[in-house]
Each structure stands twice: as C-alpha cells, then as structure tokens.
Structure 1
Amino acid sequence: MSIDTREAYRRALDAFGALVHRIGPGQWRLPTPCVDWDVRTLVDHVVRENRWVPLLLAGRTVGEVGDALDGDMLGDDALKAFDTSATAAVQAVFEDGALARVAHLSFGDVPGGEYVAELFADVLIHTWDLARAVGADERLDPELVDACAAWFADAEKGYRQAGVIGEQRPTPAGTDAQTRLLAAWGRPPQSDGDDD
C-alpha cells in the first residue's frame, strides 16, 4: 500500500463519519447500492466492524466474543454510536505492535496489518455507497482510491470467490481510477442495486 495502512483507515473512517453526520432524519431508510441494506443498516455494519477492531487486535477470537456484538449497534443515537466506535477502532490500530499481531477472523487468522487493510477497503467502498444513497458528493480521496486499488489487486480473487462482492462491472478504456475500483468491487455506475 502506498500510504500507511493505519492512516488510510483513519482517513477513510473520517470521510465516512463526515457523511454519517450529514444524514437527514428522512434518509436513514433510503436504499443503498448494497442489496437489502438501507442507510441505517449500512451505518450499523460499519459501527459493528469498528467495535470488533479493539477486540480482534487484542487477540480475542470470534468465539470468545460470542453474541456480544449482535443486534442493533446504533441505538437511539447513531451519531454517537459511530463516533465512539470509530475513535476506539482508530486507537486500537495505532497501538504499538497492532499491525504485527494476529487477528483471529471468522475465516482464519491474518496479520493485523492485513486486517486493517481489509477494514480500510471496506470503509472506503462503503463511503461511496453511503454518498450515493444520500445524494452526497461521490468523489473519494484519490490517494485512498489508489492505495485501495493496489491492495485489492491481490485480494480481489479471494473476495469474489468468497461471494462477498458483486461481479466485476465492465469499464470502458480511459475510465478513471475510482470508477475502475468501484467496478472491481461490483459497484454499478448507476443506482441499480448491488451486493454489499
């Protein structure tokens, strides 16, 4: 990755959070490009991922955490839920040695640095999903797009085989880097529904 993985993750979370703080009262149930996810479900997903970060980087396993992170993560104050979870996640990834630790994920053990790269990519793509859903500016940080594309070049096959992303969308020659990245993740150029 061309920039520090932790810094890329922090910046992606900041951008997602800025959009969360702009969600209007009537926008929480709007559909997103993720199949069957509305805006609230998408934000809940990111908050849940954030809440896993300190636990997994501390060496906990999915089995040890059990159902502690099941259910609604947003409660009555979605903004506070996001802010609190993002702060804790960023603190955990910047702890000394965090990238060298082993994260015990549901599909197997990975180095902490790989886990943080996956988190970064997930949040960056979901930032676009959220922007599209609420009608905000869909342009992503070009440096983060390039960093994600470089990392995803090696991860894409595994993601697609696992069924966690949609089919790659065709892109014409000369397509910009952001559109190519989104197409690799199965995102459509127009709002016609997609996988998460």
Structure 2
Amino acid sequence: MSPLELHTRALELAAGVIGTVQPEQLVLPTPCSGWDLRRLLEHMVGQQRGFAAAARGAAPDPALFRDVPVHGDPAGAFRRSAEELTAAFTSASAGAAEPRLRLPEIRDGEPFRLRHAIGFQLLDTLVHTWDVAAALGVPAGTAAAVDRDEPLAAALLDAAGLVPAGPADRAPGRAFRERHEAADGAGPFDRALALLGRDPAWAPPAR
C-alpha cells in the first residue's frame, strides 16, 4: 500500500473524530501543553496547508505553516485543508522522479523525500487526532482503530522512529518530549506515543 493511500486513511480517521467536536468544546485542554482544543485544531489545519505548500515546491517558510482560524466550523476547516493537502500530495506523486520537500520544522528545512514527508504528516495527523480524542475523553478509540489497521500502525511507528530525538529536538517548547519506554504489552499506537514522549494515560486536569 502506498504512503499516499495510508495518509488518506489517517485523514479519514481524523475527520471522523474532529467531526464530533462541538463549538463549546473548543475551550477544552489538550495533551499539548498550553493549547486548548481550538488552538490544536488551528495548528492541524495550518500544518496541512503548510505541507500542501511544500508539496507544491515552496521554500521552507514557517509562515506557510502558521495556525489557521477554524472559527465555529472545525470539521469544515479540517476537511478543506485535507482536500488541499491530498491534491498536492497526489500531484507531487505523479511525476517520474520523487520530489523532495523542505519542511521548516524538521532539521531546519533539510530536503526530505516525498514518501518521508507524507509519513511525517501522517504521524502529525494521527497523533493530533489522538490529542483531540483525549481532550474529548475518548482517546482509546483512536488508538484501537490504528492498532487494528496493521499497515497504518506500521507507518505510524516508522515515522515516529524517524523523528529527531536529540536533546535540542526534545527541549522544552519543542513539539515532542523525551522518549520513554512503553508499558509491557503496549500496542503500536502506544509505542509510537512513547517514542514521541506522549503519555497514553493523559487525562484533562480535574476542574
């Protein structure tokens, strides 16, 4: 199965979770420190638009990845940016030679093969979908859905293993925390979370 097909599966899973978000839930805390659900969804939409620009050959400009307001329609904003991203990845995949994308947030814009860039975006999509589900109090469903899909779970683990893990890469304020050991018997999704420094048992703080 191609990276693009797996990426499409990830987007479909994300759209299903985001489609359940109600406007009053946009203020909920998320596993992303300091971000409420609105900010997380705006980040996801911005990342999709940024990856789309990179697939079209844009220079590694952080402004292209900036958050995009979702207003009161997070599902619609996500769907539109997902369609833009899928179209850009599909077009980039159609050439005879595999293009290289430059991503400002990964190794200072070092060029990556298209398949690796799609893998990174797949990871971003799935992990942030779990973040959304965790904010809503239902993270187990997302993890289980990925674990049941062996090709998708393998792609997620591969991408998580490629994320830089040096001290500077996992410093405070960076996207991911230091790696830690997954619990005995952990499934693929929880192992990926461990590689990224996420806590599978995260729950919103008590009010």
**Residue pair 1:99, 1:111 contacting (<8 A) in 2 also:** no
**Residue pair 1:53, 1:89 contacting (<8 A) in 2 also:** yes
**Residue pair 1:5, 1:113 contacting (<8 A) in 2 also:** yes
The runs of 4+ residues in structure 1 deviating greater than 6 Å are none
Q: Hey, what does 2:8 align to over in structure 1?
A: 10
Q: Hey, what does 1:23 align to over in structure 2?
A: 21
Per-residue CA distance 1:54-93 (angstroms, 9 max, x = gap): 3211111134xx7466454323432221111001101111
Is 1:80 aligned with 2:76? yes
Q: Hey, what does 1:45 align to over in structure 2?
A: 43
SS of 2:101's partner is strand
- Scaled by the length of structure 1, what TM-score is found? 0.84
**Residue pair 1:92, 1:98 contacting (<8 A) in 2 also:** no
Q: Hey, what does 1:58 align to over in structure 2?
A: 56
- Scaled by the length of structure 2, what TM-score is found? 0.80
2:145 corresponds to which of 140, 145, 155: 140
| Alpha-carbon offset, residue 151 of structure 1 | 3.5
Per-residue CA distance 1:126-166 (angstroms, 9 max, x = gap): 1111111112333232222222113333x14x145422311
**Residue pair 2:47, 2:65 contacting (<8 A) in 1 also:** no
**Residue pair 2:160, 2:196 contacting (<8 A) in 1 also:** no
Q: Hey, what does 1:167 align to over in structure 2?
A: 178
| Greater displacement, 39-48 / 49-58 | 49-58
Q: Hey, what does 1:117 align to over in structure 2?
A: 119
Q: What is the rounded CA distance, in whole Å, between the counterparts of 2:97 and 2:194 in structure 1?
A: 29
Is 1:100 aligned with 2:85? no
**Residue pair 1:168, 1:185 contacting (<8 A) in 2 also:** yes
Tell me the percent identity: 26
What are structure 2's unaligned runs of at least 5 residues?
Answer: none
Quick one: which amino acid aligns to residue 43 of structure 1? L
What are structure 1's unaligned runs of at least 5 residues?
Answer: none
Quick one: which amino acid aligns to residue 128 of structure 2? H
Is 1:149 aligned with 2:154? no
Q: What is the rounded CA distance, in whole Å, between the counterparts of 2:117 and 2:96 in structure 1?
A: 10
Q: Hey, what does 1:181 align to over in structure 2?
A: 192
